[in-house]
Structure 1
Amino acid sequence: MKTRSVASEVLLPCEDSTYTDGACFSDGSSLAQFTDRHFAEEEISFSSSCYRIEAVQILSRVLSIANAEAHPDEVQAIDNSLAAWSHYVPSDKRDIISNSGEVDELLFQAHMLIHWATILLHMPRSELLSVHPATADIFCAKGDKQMPSTDTKHAHASKATDASKELSNLAALRCPVQKHTPFFICALVIASVVQLAACTLHNCRCMYQHRDRITLVVGLLKSLSLSWACAGSVLVKIKKIAARVMKSEHCTMTVASTQCDSCTDSGLGTSIGAEDVPWMEFFDDPVMSFEGFAPGPILFEQGS
C-alpha cells in the first residue's frame, strides 16, 4: 500500500505463453498506454497480466478506504471502476477458458480480485453482517469494520451478494485447484460468509442456491487444504457455521422453494441485528493470517 501512488515506468509483461516460447521481442506497452485504451477508437488487446495489474490497482483503492468513512463520491468512484472493468476486457479474453479447455490463470485471478474487491467495498456498508469485532478476522484486510448505516445499504448488500455469487461461479470451473493462487482461499472465505449471511436473511427462500454454493466452497477448501494449511483452518470454521445455519429443522426445503417469486438472492429489503446471527460467534478466534499461507497439510484435532 505504501507504493500504491508511486509512478511506475516499467513496461507491461507479455503473455506467459509468448514469453515461454521466447517470442517476446517487442518493446512492450506502458501502463499509460494500457490506461488510455479506454478512449481508443479501436479495441486493443493486452496480455492477461495487464488486466490483473489493473484489478490489483482497483483493489488497492478499496483497501485504502477500508477503515475510513469515505465520502460517498469516493466510494461511488471506486464502484464505477469495479463495474467498468469487465466492459474493457477485450472480446478475445471474455472467456477465461481457451478452446483447448485450459484456464487462463491470470485472467482467473483478475476476475477474482475484482469480485473480492467488490465485496470488501460494499459488505461493510451494508447490513449483511451485524456489528461484531471478531468479524474483522474473516477479511484478508485486517481491521475492516462495519460502516455506519446509509440509505443505500440495500444496494451495497445486493452488490456484495452478486459478487459472492460470481466468486462461487469461478470456484465451479473444472480445473485443478492446485493451480489457483492461495489468495483464492481468502476470496472463497469472504464469499461463503456473504452467502451464509444472505441465507440467514432469506430464511427458507433460496436455501438450495445458498446451500449449493457453500457446499462448493467447502469442497474446494477441503481440496486446497492438502496444499495450504490456512484452507484447513477456515474449513473447520465454515463447516461449523454452515451446519448451524442450515439445520434441517430450521427449514423444510422443497423444490418449490427454489422457484419462489420473491427469491432475489440479493439481500434487498432486509435488516439484521447482532442477535439474529448467533453463528458469528464461531469467528471469535482469528482464522486468517498470512502466516497460514505456508504450504503443507494441516493436522486436525480428533473430533474437529
Structure 2
Amino acid sequence: MNAPSGTMGSGEPSLNDTEDPLSMFFDFGIGSPPQDSVEALQISSARKSQDTPPRGGIRVSLACVPCRSRHVKCGAEMPNCSRCLQDDKPCFYAKSRRGMRDRNAPRKRASLREAEKGSPVQNCSSGQSINSLSYLRANSSNDSYTGPSSDGSASPESSSSRLSGKVATSKRLLDLYYSSFHKAHPFLLPRYYFHNRLQSDPESLKFLFPVMKWIGSTFSPDIPSVDLRDTAMNLMEMANLPPNGFTVQALLLAAIALHSQDDMIKSRAILDRAIYLALEIRMNSRTFANMERDPVLAESWRRTYWFMYVTDAKFAAFRNATQFMLYTVEANVELPCEECDYDGIIPRSRTLEEYENRDFLDEEPVFSSFTYLIDLTRISGSLLGFDRLPHGNVEVAVNNADAMLVNWKLHLPREKQGVVDKNEELDEILFFAQQQLQVLLVFIHRPLSRLTHCPLEEISSCARPPLPIQPTGEEDRAYWLHTKKSLEAAEAAINLYALPCPILSHSPLGICGLTFSTLASLSSCAFILTGPEWYRTRDRIRLGLGSLKAMGEVWAIARKSEKETKSIARSVFAMPKPGMATAENARSSTSNFGYGNGLPLSSSTSMMNHTPMDVGWQELSEIDYFGTWNAFSGRQQDMNGILT
C-alpha cells in the first residue's frame, strides 16, 4: 500500500485506482488534498523517504482478532488473513478506536467487488477464499457467518446486511456445506479450489453443485430445502449423466444425504449407480487419478473412491447384508493424504502395499487418518456375515474378529490413538473410525454375552436379530468375557459424543452405530447391571438419546432412531432393576419370556425406589419389552425385498 504523496500528478493513476484494500481501515484523506498542501506533503515525503526503509520491512501492527487471541503472527491481509485461511478459521478485525475509519469505505468495497468479479482466478490464487467458515448451529446462531464487516461497527447498515444473509444464496449454501458437512466427508475439492473451479469451469460442476446446495440448506432452519432437494434429485435421476468423477461425487453425496434423511430405497439405488459409474470409468485403478495433471483434483478422485468404499460398507451393515459390493472389487487406488496436506501441497501418494508392510519396519510410518479408516472398513467387510455361520463356528469366528480389531487399534501410531489432531481440533475421520471400531466390537461380542436381545428391539431399524444359538451349558465360562467387552465397547462408542465439539459436525453415517450401542446398554440395564453401575449406564443411555436428538435437528434417520430407542427405553426403565426380583419372579420371567439364561440373580439389592426415565411419546402400557421376536424376520424380509 502506498500512502498518498505529492507525486500525484494529472498523468498518473489516482488514489482510488491504485489503493490497497488495507486503506479502507485508515483515513489517508478524503478525495484529493488541497493544492496548497501538496508542496508541504512533497517536502515531508522527500525527507522521510531518505530514512524510511522499504515497505516490506515495516512491521504490520494490524492483526485480526483470532490471531491476537492465539498470540500468533498475523499477515493482516484483507478480508481474510493468510493464517486464518490456512487454519480454516473465521477471520475478522476489531473496530479501530482511533476514529480513523474511512468514510469512503462503502464506495471502495464496491469497487473491490467489481475488481474481484473481473479476475476470479487471481482472487483464488492469492489465497483468499470466498468467505470465512460459517459456524455450526451448535456453536452459534443459525445464520451463516459472512465474514468481517468492513466498517467494523454495529451500524444499521451492518445489521441489515446480517439480516439479508438469511437469503439462500449459492455462496451461503456453499459456506454451510463446507463448514457443517465437508470435514466428516472430505472427498470434494477444498473450498477455495472448488470456488476456483466454479468460476473457471462451472459446466463441470453442473450436477455436483446442486447436491451440495441441498445438503448445505439442511443445516439452516430458515432455508427451505424441499425445492433444492427436488432440483438435485431431478438431476441425479437423469438417464444419461456425464461419465466423469464429478458425477460420481454428486451421486455419492446424494446417496449419503438420502440415507441420512431415511430414504433407504432411493439412497441404495443411487449409491449403486455411483459404484457402477465409478467402475465404468475405472476409478478403482490408480491410473484414473494419476492421469490428472492437477494434484489436488487427483487427490480428490482417490478420496472419492475410498469414501464410496466406506459408504458401501455402512449401507451393507444397515441392510444386514453379508458383504458389500466394493469389497469384492479389485482396486489399486493409492491412499489419501492427511487433511492438512489436502489443503496445501499434496505429498507423494502411498500404496496399500506400503501400508501392509508398515508393521515390519523398525520405525513405523504414520499414515493419514483416512487410511486407517479404510483399513478398518476392510476388516468390517470380513465380519458382516459371521452371524450366518453354524453355531459351532461362531466362537472361533468371534475370537478371530476380535484379534483383527484389537490389532488394528494396537498398531495405531501414537498420533492416531485419540481423535484430536496436533492442532487440538477434532479429527472427524478418526472419530468416525474409532466409533466404527467400538460398534464392531459390540456387534461381534454381544451375541455371545449376557446382553440378551430383547424382542422389543425389533422396532429399531438399526437393530440386528439375535443369533439362533441353543445353550449347551458350556457358555458360562466365556459369558463374562464377551459381556465385559460388549459393555466397554458400547460405553466407549457413546462417550465419543461427549467430546467438546458440535455433534452436528459428525457424519450421519454413524447414527445407526450410536443407536446400536445404546441398545446394548439398554439390555445391560434390563438384565445384568445393579447398583451404581446401573445408574452410570443409564446416564450413558441418556447421552446416546441426547446425541440422537441433536443430530435429529438435521437428519431424519436420527429422529426416527431416537423415537424407536426411547420406546424401548421406557419399557426398560419401568421394570425393577436386576437383583430386586425374587427367585420366583425370575423363574416366572424365564418361562414366560423364553430366554435360556433368564434374568441373572444378584445378591446386591437396592432399597431405592426406581423412577422411570421420562422419555416421552408412548404410554408404558403400549410396550411389551418381553414379547417375541416374530416380527423381526418379516421386517427384514421386507427390507431385503425393497432394497434388492
User: Residues 205-244 of structure 1: matches in 2 within 5 Å?
Assistant: 205=531, 206-244=533-571
Candidates 492, 516, 522, aligned match of 1:196 = 522
Q: Which moved more, 1:118-127 or 1:167-176?
A: 118-127
Mapped contact 1:11–1:31 kept (Cα < 8 A): yes
User: Does structure 1 residue 13 correspond to structure 2 residue 336?
Assistant: yes
Q: Deviations over 1:103-128 (max 9, x none)?
A: 10111111111111111111123231
Candidates 341, 346, 350, aligned match of 1:24 = 346
Q: Aligned letter for 1:179?
A: S
Mapped contact 2:453–2:466 kept (Cα < 8 A): no
Structure 1 residues 45 and 203: alpha-carbon distance in aligned structure 2, compared to 1, 3 A threshold: closer
Q: Deviations over 1:144-179 (max 9, x none)?
A: 644444622332222111110110121111111111
User: Residues 1-304 of structure 1: matches in 2 within 5 Å?
Assistant: 1-21=324-344, 23-26=345-348, 28-69=349-390, 70=393, 72-130=395-453, 132=455, 135=457, 138=460, 140=462, 145-149=467-471, 151=475, 152-205=478-531, 206-247=533-574, 250=576, 271-272=597-598, 278-279=624-625
Q: Deviations over 1:238-292 (max 9, x none)?
A: 2232233224x835xxxxxxxxxxxxxxxxxx9436xxx95265996869x89xx
Q: Deviations over 1:46-99 (max 9, x none)?
A: 000011001111111110313223454333221101111111111122221135
Mapped contact 2:335–2:352 kept (Cα < 8 A): yes
Looking at structure 2, the residues matched to 98 and 60 of structure 1 have their Cα atoms a distance apart, in angstroms, of 27
Larger radius of gyration: 2
Structure 1 residues 110 and 62: alpha-carbon distance in aligned structure 2, compared to 1, 3 A threshold: same
Looking at structure 1, the residues matched to 387 and 459 of structure 2 have their Cα atoms a distance apart, in angstroms, of 14
Q: Aligned letter for 1:68?
A: L
Q: Which moved more, 1:236-245 or 1:123-132?
A: 123-132
Looking at structure 2, the residues matched to 130 and 46 of structure 1 have their Cα atoms a distance apart, in angstroms, of 38
**2:384 partner SS:** helix
Q: TM-score, normalised by structure 2?
A: 0.38
Structure 1 residues 139 and 236: alpha-carbon distance in aligned structure 2, compared to 1, 3 A threshold: closer
Mapped contact 2:459–2:564 kept (Cα < 8 A): no
Mapped contact 2:491–2:517 kept (Cα < 8 A): yes
Looking at structure 1, the residues matched to 406 and 459 of structure 2 have their Cα atoms a distance apart, in angstroms, of 27
Q: Aligned letter for 2:363?
A: E
Looking at structure 1, the residues matched to 406 and 468 of structure 2 have their Cα atoms a distance apart, in angstroms, of 22
**2:553 partner SS:** coil
**1:184 partner SS:** helix
Q: Aligned letter for 2:402?
A: D
Structure 1 unmatched ranges of 5 or more: 252-269, 291-304
How many residue pairs are counted as aligned between the two chains? 265
Structure 1 residues 138 and 55: alpha-carbon distance in aligned structure 2, compared to 1, 3 A threshold: farther
Looking at structure 2, the residues matched to 160 and 203 of structure 1 have their Cα atoms a distance apart, in angstroms, of 13
**What is the aligned partner in structure 2 of residue 299 from structure 1?**
none
How far residue 191 of structure 1 moved from its aligned partner, in angstroms, is 0.9
Looking at structure 2, the residues matched to 96 and 189 of structure 1 have their Cα atoms a distance apart, in angstroms, of 21
Sequence identity (%): 26
Looking at structure 1, the residues matched to 539 and 432 of structure 2 have their Cα atoms a distance apart, in angstroms, of 23
Structure having greater relative contact order (Cα 8 Å, sep ≥ 6): 1
How far residue 35 of structure 1 moved from its aligned partner, in angstroms, is 1.6
Q: Aligned letter for 1:49?
A: F
RMSD: 3.1
Q: Aligned letter for 1:207?
A: W
Q: Aligned letter for 2:359?
A: H
How far residue 141 of structure 1 moved from its aligned partner, in angstroms, is 7.8
